[in-house]
Structure 1
């Protein structure tokens, strides 16, 4: 397994978020010994999402995902949560860039409503 695929995936996710939300604020939170870089968080008028890396996936957790329409079915994790929804991205999977950008624009609209 290519250990770099996760970093490449995070970079791709970051670029799509920046495309969708040009004024997004990225911060690293929750730094600890096992994760000295922390967890990237993205905000615009409130938290939009966190992006976490695991051994087998990159998880994009949408803070208010249950309130954000997902017409293309990107959400594939945390589907029964009351507030959050998540997108697990596994090695070799291709993101639907347009759907991802649209989802993030909708998430910001929820934050700003």
Structure 2
């Protein structure tokens, strides 16, 4: 019989994200699930990954990629943080970015309990991040 560690090793990134959402079991899980749905609607070709597993976060951090990292979804006691890897290079006409504004690369959106998610604006931001990634794709060397 396999132990839970080997089952986790066999789990796909999508299954690990499902497990993380289920383990949260509160508004943070619901928010992360909603964000995940919007990301997939905005970019049906998105690839889900899980990175940065550690003893204090055994399920890791959900990561969405398309020709490079689009964003990560971290959960904290008081917020769900959606961090865009190249957020500083993205137009944000709806003013969604409300965190990590001082850096020259990343930008983030902190979602709090009871807060609204602007579906249309978030999908537009996801599409802009994908467009930026694909425009910067370098051809492979021969």
TM-score by length of 1: 0.97
CA RMSD of aligned residues (A): 1.1
1:15 correspondence with 2:37:
yes
Residue 87 (structure 1) aligns with: 109
For the pair shown, the structure with the greater C-alpha radius of gyration is 2
Secondary structure at the aligned position of 1:35 is classed as coil
Q: Deviations over 1:56-76 (max 9, x none)?
A: 000000000011110000000
Any unmatched runs of 5+ in structure 2? 1-24, 136-142
Larger % of strand: which? 1
User: TM-score, with normalisation over the residues of structure 2?
Assistant: 0.77
Give the match for residue 25 of structure 1.
47
Q: Give the number of aligned pairs.
A: 112
Segments of 4+ in structure 1 off by > 3 A?
none
Say which structure, 1 or 2, has more relative contact order (CA 8 Å, 6+ apart): 1
Q: Which runs of 5+ in 1 are unaligned?
A: none
Which structure shows the bigger proportion of residues in helix conformation? 2
Match of 2:122 in 1: 100
